[in-house]
Amino acid sequence: MKMKVEFRESSSRPRWNREKCDFIPAKTRVFWWYRNDKTLDADGYKTLKEAVVSIVNGMGKEKIKIADIKYDAFAGCSCGCSPGFIVPVRNGKDIFINISKR
């Protein structure tokens, strides 16, 4: 599937650190929304990961590779309603992107 991936926004989300009794930046999470078709084939999944790498690498000093990105069915919520990618960059940012067919 040919697809278009567009960066929508990013927001900060701190995480509570029990040991330090303070907020620390959480690992970056990436969530996506479909514009038309709600399925991703293997090529679409790879394209999405490549887009995430370029977005994250453009946001800061830390550089990541595709292998660093992990899919998590519970990335946004413990009930599984908001799956996404977890990126090992602790900048406290959540990234939201739109996916649509070309």
Domain that holds residue 51: 3-101
CA of 99: how far to CAs of 8, 22, 31, 80, 91, in Å? 10, 36, 10, 20, 24
Residues 6+ apart with CB under 8 A from 22: 16
1 pLDDT above the threshold of 60: no
For 46-92, how does the pLDDT look when each residue is reduced to its tens digit (9 = 90+)?
Answer: 888 888 888 888 877 788 899 998 888 888 777 877 788 888 887 77
Number of compact structural domains in the chain? 1
Give the end-to-end CA distance of the chain in Å, rounded to a whole number. 8
In contact, 11 and 94? CB cutoff 8 Å: yes
pLDDT higher than 80, residue 95? yes
pLDDT attached to residue 17: 64
pLDDT, mean over the chain: 77
Q: For position 39, what pLDDT does the model report?
A: 63
User: In 3-state terms, the chain is what percent helix, strand and coil (to 5)?
Assistant: 20, 40, 40
Instruction: Inform me whether the pLDDT recorded for 40 exceeds 70.
Output: no
Q: How long is the chain?
A: 102
